[in-house]
Amino acid sequence: MQIDAGTSDSEGIEKKVRKTGEKVLREVMVKIGLERIDTQEGITVEALLDSGATGLVMSSEFAKKQGFKLKKLERPM
């Protein structure tokens, strides 16, 4: 995997263009703030912006490492 170009603007948005074989991938990374509602403790992380997403998600592994409380949903996603 090779990063061919990368730029970052004043709002912390990083745009990357990568070539993987024949395919060109474009990624937009943004710095976001997350806050635990039980403790109001916050962290800043870098996240991938997915323009086709219909909701907000984070991996359960990341949530556990950051100390977020997890609970099972009545209807899994």
d(CA 18, CA 4): 6
pLDDT bucket at 20, cuts 50 / 70 / 90: low
Phi then psi for residue 30, to 5 deg, are -130, 150
pLDDT bucket at 31, cuts 50 / 70 / 90: very high
d(CA 53, CA 23): 21
Task: Identify which has the larger pLDDT, 10 or 71.
Answer: 71
pLDDT, residue 4, reads 41
Stretch among 39-43, 51-55, 58-62 having the lowest mean pLDDT: 51-55
Q: How confident is the model over 33-48, as a mean pLDDT?
A: 88
pLDDT, residue 19, reads 58
